[in-house]
Every structure is written in C-alpha cells, then in structure tokens.
Structure 1
Amino acid sequence: MPPAVPGPILRRRRLGIELRRLREQAGLTGDQVIERIGWASASKLSRLENGRSRPDPDDVDVLLTLYDADDEQRAELTAITHEAGDMRGWLRNFPVMTQQQRAFAELEAGCAEISEYNPVLVPGLLQTPGYARHRILSAAQVAAEAGDPDGEDPETEVRARQSRQSLLTRSDAPRYTVVLEEAALGRRAGPPEVLHEQLVHLCELALLPNVTPRLLLRDTPVGDWYLPPTAFSVYRFVDPLDPETLAIEGGFTDVMSTDLNTLNRYKVVFEWLCSSALSASDTLSWLIEATGRLTGTAVESTAAYGPATAPTQRRQGSGRLTTER
C-alpha cells in the first residue's frame, strides 16, 4: 500500500515554506542569510525555500539556529527534513515505480481529497492494465516519430500505474471525485474488449464509498458556455499546512502549482463541471448501460440504479447552471 503520508517532493515544498516564513519572521533577507552563514551561492537558499533540492539536515539545522527556532519548530522541521530526503525509503512502499509515475504518486500520497477532470482520457488512478497499456504504447509511438523514444518499458509503466491505484482502496483512502467527459469513454479509446473492461472497472470503482465518478454528457453546457481548456487535478492533503497543489496535464508536459489564485480558478471550474455533470447514481447507470451496449447485450439498469438520463438543469441569477438532485 502507498504511504498515508506525503511524498518527499511535497515535504520539500512544506519545508521551504516554513523556512521562508521563519526567515521573514527573523527580519532577514536572503542575501543577509547567505552572508551570515557563509554559503558560496545564494541559489542554495533559494532552492531550499522553493522546494527544488534535497535538503541537507546540517544545512537546515544551521538555518534553524540562525532563525532562533524554538524546540517545537526545530523538532517538526527536522522530521520533515528527513522525510523530504528519504526518497528511497518512500519508494519501498510501492511494488514498482517509474520516473514518469513518481510525480503523481508523490502528490497522491498523504491526500485527504483529490478532484480530477479529464476531457479525453480515463485518469491514471482509474485505468485498467489494458487501457493503460494502449495509452502508454500510443504515446511511445508519438515519441518515436518525433525522434525522442521513451526509455521506459511499457509493461513496467503499466505496473507502476497499478501500484499507484492501491491508494483508492487503502483503509485511509482519500475522497476521490472525478468528472469525465462522455468522449473519454467513446470507441476511440481502444478496441472493444479494452473499453468493455474499462467500463466494468469504472462500475466497480463507483461502488467504493470514497470514489465518486461524474459523467459530463457531450451536449451539456458548463457554466455560461464555459469550455475547460485542459485536464487538471487538485490535491488537498491530510496535513492542512501542506499546500494544496494543482496539476495540469498537458499530454506531453505536466505543470504543477501551489499558487492560490490559480488554484482558486480551477476550483471554480471544477464546481461548474460537477454542477453540469450527471449525478453519481445516474453516472453509474450510464456506465452499466454503456457496458451492455458494447457487449451487444443491453442491460436494463433503471430498476436498480435509476434512469440514465441527463438531470434537469436550471439557471441561477448569476447565469450558472446548477443541477437538480
């Protein structure tokens, strides 16, 4: 099982935030700190405060002494420093992990809540091995055509993705809400048997108490005709002092940010998406019926799960679409 504590990268960010706060509290500029400590490069402090380098416990101890940190602060930040540097120990919690999957695994560890949207793909936490394999192989073909072949073995990547997925079934699993566009589950996603397996898997995941999939039908408007430009995920952590993090998935490049203004915009977008998407029960009905259609055996699910139709919508005074539950 993945650890129920944040990964090293998040610990580095938390440490950096606390070190910067203590420096400012001490009334010191970065240049003054470098001068008093005698470090050769000002970038060393910058990398520490921005969470971009593995912290040396001795360096952190020197800073805490300079900032006159009290015993409680010193004990807390010393523990965080060791967690931030123990990448090897943290990775032992996973049966297999690759560089490509590591950044997301680190964000997911220690989460209390994950909110995710994807217009064209089933997110990695929900993918079956077959679906993941097709996604990885198709991306590898693009890289090869561009003259930049991916060095990772596809089967290792598939296993690494599966290793991340145990997050959703552990005893302290985070609350996970995902909004999927109808197009993400269309027949372009893969061969019929792969898509069928993926739909069945989504039905099973939808029954977990902490997992809430929401389907956005292709013709349903969002907000005042808003079109989300990209896939994204928002992570909130068990420790409220760990900064909420936004991950923007761009296909070939991923961007991560803790900027509050940016985060708040994406939170608003996610609220709009949820307001326009099918309810959780209607989403499950849709998934069951889609599975039946794909196998050529229509499944009559309305008796057990309710009608798989779009919810009635109304406009508030602000023009936002809201859903009648």
Structure 2
Amino acid sequence: MPRGSSPIVRRQRLGVELRRLRETTGLTGEQVVERVGWAAKSKLSRLENGRSRPDLADVLDLLDLYQVRGRDRDQLVAIARDAGNTRGWLRAYPVMTQRQRGYAELEAGSARIREYGLGVVPGLLQTPDYARVRILSSWPLSEQAGPVAPVPAQRPGAGPVAEPPAPQEPDTEVAARLARQTILTRSPDPPCYEAVLDEQALTGRGAPDDVRAGQLAHLAALASLPNVTIRVLLRDAPVAQHFVPYTGFSIYHFPDPEDPETVAVETLARELVLTDRNSVERYARVFGWLSEAALDPVRSRSWISSLVG
C-alpha cells in the first residue's frame, strides 16, 4: 500500500482555504449559498469545517465565485480530489470499519507518527489477541458511549461532535485494526514510527498474562524494523519537572508541509482531533519530555526481551 494523501487532513486543509477565500472576498456564508444556488445552507459550513466529503462540482462553484484562477485553482482542485477520494483510499485495505477508519486515514498519509501509550499498547503495535481483549473490554459500553473514529473538528482545533457509529463484530474490528498495521511494513515509504510506552501499558492490567506475553514478544520483533523506534518509560522515571501525562495520544506529520500536523487523543466517548498549531506544539513538547525520560531504544528492547524471557 503506497503512501497517499490523508483524506481527513485534506478535507481540513480544503476547509481552511475555502474559509479564507470567502473572508477575503468579504462575503457571508448566507451570501455565498445564495449566489451559488445551494438548497442546504449547512453545506458551506460543513465544507469549511472539513466535516463532509467534498463534491468537486461544489468546490468548482466556490472557486468560480471567488475568482480563483491559475496555479492556486489547480492546487485547490487537487486537494479537493484527494479529500473526496474515499473509495480509492479504502481499496488499499482488505477490511475497514467506521470505528477504525478515522485513524487509518490519518496513518495512511503520514510520513511520521509519534505515539504515547499510557495504559495500553497503541493499536498499530497490537497483536490480534491483544486487540481482541482491548475491543471486547469496551464492548459493554459501545451502545452508550463507544469510541468513535476521529473526524475533523467543527472549527480549527476543536473536538468532533459526531455521534458514535455502531460497532462492528469483534472479529471485524480486530481485522480492521490489523489492516491498519500494514503501513509499518509497506513498500515503499513506510512512515517513521516512534512510540513511548509507559511501563504500566506493558506490565499492567491491560491483558491476561498469556496475551501480554505474546504482545511483548511482538514488540521486541517490531523494534527491529528500521523505521520503528520503541522506548519504554519506567514507572519511577521523572518526566521533565515531574510532569504527569493526562492521556495517551498520537501525533501525525505529513509529507506536504501545508497539510496541518495533527494530534488525536482517544477518550471514552469521543476522539479529539487537534490541528491548531498551539495544541500540536504542546503535545510535541510533551512527547519530547517523555522520550528524554524513557530508556533509549536499545535498552528498551532489552528490557522488553527480558520480560519475554
């Protein structure tokens, strides 16, 4: 699966550009909707907030209204095509679910991924047995407040408000999570992947002993990949000025410098997707603190291998 553009990030970027163009022309949202002849007033809002898959004809209507020509127009048309290329992107995966899809969209277009696992091992590193335990553990909550796939924020830097999708069967969810993991070994251009794993994620109550043993062996093997770096943060290691992270998180960096670096934070009921620069820089700084406090990659691999033994 070659690296392509991330549709979810392209939708966010397209929305920012369309909003900027509208504000530059001095038009209100209602004026734009009236001039292009759209029946639904919410269509423009959803486009500008990156909350809907764009129709190229709608984008062309807006570019005509804003009198965008030449190279700028060509670039925005290309971004709109990437943002709407859902079917082409999904063909790269043998199976995918709505619950996994938002993360897969972010991961597939990433050049670099940094993750911190506080209480559990991140999804890209999980074995099938470990993934099944994690998915089943939250199954009783799925009808009330099940996790949802990340979606772009309503406004820059804000969290999503989409209703949780209906979960698939556990076997399907596990298969979709494993499908996401193929990016670590894809050829060409696998992402540079870095993870800081808290000791409690590796020795705590996240899985039964036999499942955890298999997970540790899997991590030791993954750490040998040239594009994968794993660090272990021991429970008594001070982080910066005794900073305590609130949650695990993921940071995604994309090859196009104009695509916003993105942070995803998983919560019980919603996944927060942050793209505003201040928030992203805060998480990047925290990841730096965690990396400095953790064991180096060689010692981390030895530590994990000793647990396997």
CA shift for structure 1 position 40: 4.1
Cα distance in 1 between the residues matched to 2:93 and 2:278: 34
Q: 1:267 aligns with which of 265, 277, 284?
A: 284
TM-score by length of 2: 0.88
Map 1:10-21 to 2 at 5 A: 10-21=9-20
Contact 1:122 1:180 in 2 (8 A): yes
Moved more, 279-288 or 243-252: 243-252
Match of 2:38, SS state, is coil
Q: For residue 277 of structure 1, what is the aligned residue in structure 2?
A: 294
Q: Does structure 1 residue 166 correspond to structure 2 residue 182?
A: yes
Contact 2:120 2:202 in 1 (8 A): yes
* Residue-by-residue CA offset, 1:140-187 (whole Å, 9 max, x unaligned): 134479899964111111110110001111120111111110000115
Given the superposition, is the C-alpha separation of residues 227 and 281 from structure 1 closer, same or farther in structure 2, using an over 3 Å criterion? same
Contact 2:250 2:263 in 1 (8 A): yes
Q: For residue 297 of structure 1, what is the aligned residue in structure 2?
A: none
CA shift for structure 1 position 11: 1.9
User: What is the CA RMSD across the aligned residues, in angstroms?
Assistant: 2.2
Q: For residue 75 of structure 2, what is the aligned residue in structure 1?
A: 76
Q: Does structure 1 residue 7 correspond to structure 2 residue 6?
A: yes
* Residue-by-residue CA offset, 1:12-42 (whole Å, 9 max, x unaligned): 1121122223333434443442343343454
Given the superposition, is the C-alpha separation of residues 86 and 145 from structure 1 closer, same or farther in structure 2, using an over 3 Å criterion? closer
CA shift for structure 1 position 205: 0.8
Contact 2:98 2:165 in 1 (8 A): no
Q: For residue 221 of structure 2, what is the aligned residue in structure 1?
A: 204
Cα distance in 2 between the residues matched to 1:64 and 1:204: 50
Q: Does structure 1 residue 195 correspond to structure 2 residue 212?
A: yes
Q: For residue 51 of structure 1, what is the aligned residue in structure 2?
A: 50
CA shift for structure 1 position 55: 1.3
Highest relative contact order (Cα 8 Å, sep 6+), 1 or 2?
2
Q: Does structure 1 residue 232 correspond to structure 2 residue 231?
A: no
For residue 261 of structure 1, what is the amino acid of its counterpart?
A: N
Contact 2:264 2:274 in 1 (8 A): yes
User: Number of aligned pairs?
Assistant: 291
Q: For residue 177 of structure 1, what is the aligned residue in structure 2?
A: 194
Map 1:1-325 to 2 at 5 A: 1=1, 3-143=2-142, 151-170=167-186, 171-292=188-309
Structure 1 unaligned residues grouped into runs of 5+:
293-325
Identity %, equivalent residues: 55
* Residue-by-residue CA offset, 1:252-301 (whole Å, 9 max, x unaligned): 42111112111111111111111111111110110110111xxxxxxxxx
Match of 2:258, SS state, is coil
Contact 2:6 2:106 in 1 (8 A): yes
CA shift for structure 1 position 251: 3.5
Structure 2 unaligned residues grouped into runs of 5+:
147-163
Cα distance in 2 between the residues matched to 1:40 and 1:136: 41
Match of 1:48, SS state, is helix
CA shift for structure 1 position 58: 1.5
CA shift for structure 1 position 134: 0.8
Moved more, 72-81 or 125-134: 72-81
Moved more, 116-125 or 148-157: 148-157
Contact 1:120 1:181 in 2 (8 A): yes
Given the superposition, is the C-alpha separation of residues 145 and 87 from structure 1 closer, same or farther in structure 2, using an over 3 Å criterion? closer
* Residue-by-residue CA offset, 1:298-317 (whole Å, 9 max, x unaligned): xxxxxxxxxxxxxxxxxxxx
Cα distance in 1 between the residues matched to 2:204 and 2:198: 13
For residue 275 of structure 1, what is the amino acid of its counterpart?
A: E
CA shift for structure 1 position 226: 0.8
For residue 103 of structure 1, what is the amino acid of its counterpart?
A: G
Cα distance in 2 between the residues matched to 1:146 and 1:36: 41
Cα distance in 2 between the residues matched to 1:21 and 1:143: 38
Rg: which structure is higher? 1
Match of 1:111, SS state, is coil
For residue 137 of structure 2, what is the amino acid of its counterpart?
A: S
CA shift for structure 1 position 8: 2.3
For residue 101 of structure 2, what is the amino acid of its counterpart?
A: R
For residue 193 of structure 2, what is the amino acid of its counterpart?
A: Y
Cα distance in 2 between the residues matched to 1:122 and 1:42: 43
Contact 1:140 1:149 in 2 (8 A): no
Match of 2:93, SS state, is coil
